[in-house]
Amino acid sequence: MPAWAAAEPALFRQAADRHERANGTAYREFELALPRELTPDDRVALVRDRVRQEIGDRHAYQGSPHETEKILR
C-alpha cells in the first residue's frame, strides 16, 4: 500500500476506482507456491523480489499469505 493509505487500505481502492482509465487494468493477481522449507522471513523476501521483478517499486501491491497445510488439517 502507498504510505498515505497504509492505515486505511479502503482509501487506496476508492482512489483507484476514481482514477482508473476506462480501458485500464484494476489489478493483476499472482499466485505463488512457496517451499515449506523456507522460513517465513525467507518467504517474504522471495515474494518481495518477485514483486520487484514483475512491477518494480513504483506501484502499490498487496500480499495475502495462506498456509494451506493448516487449512487442510
44-65, pLDDT tens digit by residue? 889 889 888 988 888 778 777 7
12-22, pLDDT tens digit by residue? 888 888 887 77
User: How far apart (Å, rounded) are the C-alpha atoms in residues 55 and 58?
Assistant: 8
DSSP-H helix ranges across 1-73: 9-19, 40-55, 68-72
Question: DSSP 3-state helix, strand, coil percentages of the chain (rounded to 5)?
Answer: 50, 0, 50
Bigger pLDDT: 1 vs 52: 52
Q: Give residue for cell 482509465.
A: 21
User: How far apart (Å, rounded) are the C-alpha atoms in residues 14 and 24?
Assistant: 15
